[in-house]
Homo-oligomer: A and B are copies of this chain.
Amino acid sequence: MARNPERRTALLDAAIQVLADEGARGLTFRAVDARADVPTGTSSNYFRDRDQVLSQVADRIFERLAPEPGDFETALLAGPSRPLVLDLMRQIAQRLAAERTCYLGLFELRLEAVRRPELRTQLTKVLRSDLDANIQGHLQAGMPGDADTVRLLYFALTGLLVDHFTVPGLHGDRDLDDLIETVVTRVVPDM
């Protein structure tokens, strides 16, 4: 296996673009090489097979979607409150909207995971580690609500973003900020 880490990352980012543009079925070594603008055969030096590409793409997507280190701690200086939860949810949504290709790629991965047990295991692992970190962060910061508050915010944000990316006109003049405010106001206790 080839080991240049920048090259590997560039190949994974190309794979995410292929996923978002062509769907999981379009994800082949050849398509990744073409998208990364490298000689045909390069990807096959970096990844054992297509399953390994998919599995590492899952990790890479969460790496790109993660907040900057320290962002959460800085925000918390204001003290835990419902308005702060709203603020953080809006930041998350903006980050995901800016990384639209990643978020759409994640959904392509999810659908592919229905057909591929190995990918399902890997995707469950990264999604759970992300959800657990959010729950822990919320509780340790003394934010209003409990673990199920965070779970419910996560469910609602998924539904909301899927609409935002795939059928943006569905909720008429209600924009992303407005819908997120509705969700937070109704899910998070006021304190």
Residues of A within 8 A of B (CB): 20-26, 104, 107-108, 110-115, 120, 123-124, 127-128, 131, 148-149, 151-152, 154-160, 162-163, 165-167, 169-171, 179, 182-183, 186-187
Contact = CB atoms under 8 A, between A and B. Distances in A.
Contact of A23 (B111, B166, B167): B111
Contact of A183 (B21, B155, B158): B155
Given A152-B183, A158-B158, 9 more contacts: A23-B111, A104-B114, A114-B166, A127-B167, A148-B186, A155-B156, A155-B157, A155-B183, A158-B162
A104 B162 CA distance: 14
Contacts of A25: 22-23, 25-26
A169 B126 CA distance: 12
Contacts of A183: 152, 155
B167 A110 contact: yes
Given A111-B107, A151-B182, A156-B155, A167 B22 contact: no
A155 B159 contact: yes
B23 A127 contact: no
